Amino acid sequence: MPARILPAHPARLHLVLMLALTFSTGVLDAVGYLGLDRVFTANMTGNVVILGMALLGGDNLPILGPIVALAGFMTGALISGRTLRLSTSGWNRRTTGLLVGVSVVMAVVATLLLSGLNPRTSETLTVAITGTLAVAMGVQAATARHLNVKDVPTVVVTSTITGLAADSRLGAGTHPFWGRRLAAVGLIMAGAAVGAGFVQLHLGFGVLLTSLLTLGVALLGRIGMHRPEPMQTPATATAAPGADAAVVSTEP
């Protein structure tokens, strides 16, 4: 039954799944920033800026947290890159395994938080949770990069916003991928709003939601691996072979 409701083309399926991860990133970054001493677990640009200001004593900003998050994120990206180094771009068993691993790590953190663990009582505990979640997000980001979905990196939308404006009708006028770009910006913002709401209830809820979303993406991506390729229409059959043809046919 799930296979029947999935997008027919693998490239479109990957786009939908990466947009779901973009939403989950917004949730987790809001939880991290609001609940873990103003540190992002996915948006490393934000951490670099915070760290730069903190080094000059700006507004009592954290120093250790951003450093641990940066180190953890890079560690996660290294793990994913090493795991996928011999794999061709696209979904495979290792991609599924990495995302399931991310989901499990987040589920463990969520369980600890929901069972009464309070990171606000200890700086060491806060940093440990931040580092753990950053490793998971580094794995997710590098795995999403391996899938190579144009303009949906899942963890940051600065380049997406740049392309959306620069290629708009008022800019270069080419406006490719405007649908996915707009969706990515909207979804990470919506995720941040949801994450902020969860912080008011319990930190664990936002982490748990992110875990469930990541697991769902991994399972749906795995199901999509075994689906037969859709029959080409005359329009797509005459298009240039390779990624360009897939990109043209997958824009929402």
Q: Domains, the chain, ranges and CATH? A: 21-223 (1.20.1250)
Sequence-separated (6 or more) residues with CB below 8 Å from residue 73 = 41, 42, 44, 134, 135, 137, 138, 141
- pLDDT at residue 21 tops 90: yes
- pLDDT at residue 124 tops 70: yes
Average pLDDT, the chain: 85
7 and 13 Cβ atoms separated by less than 8 Å: yes
State pTM to two decimals: 0.84
The arithmetic mean of pLDDT across residues 64-84, rounded, is: 96
Structure token digits, residue 17: 């799944």
Structure token digits, residue 10: 């693998």
Residue 1 confidence class, pLDDT cut points 50, 70, 90: very low
Portion of the chain with pLDDT greater than 90, in percent: 60
206 and 199 Cβ atoms separated by less than 8 Å: yes
41 and 24 Cβ atoms separated by less than 8 Å: no
DSSP assigned state of 240: P
d(CA 47, CA 68): 10
Q: What is the DSSP string of 140-180?
A: HHHHHHHHT-TT--SS--HHHHHHHHHTSTTTTS--TTHHH
Residue 235 confidence class, pLDDT cut points 50, 70, 90: very low
Cα–Cα distances in angstroms (integers) from residue 131 to residues 72, 73, 105, 121, 124, in the given order: 5, 8, 12, 17, 11
The arithmetic mean of pLDDT across residues 53-81, rounded, is: 92
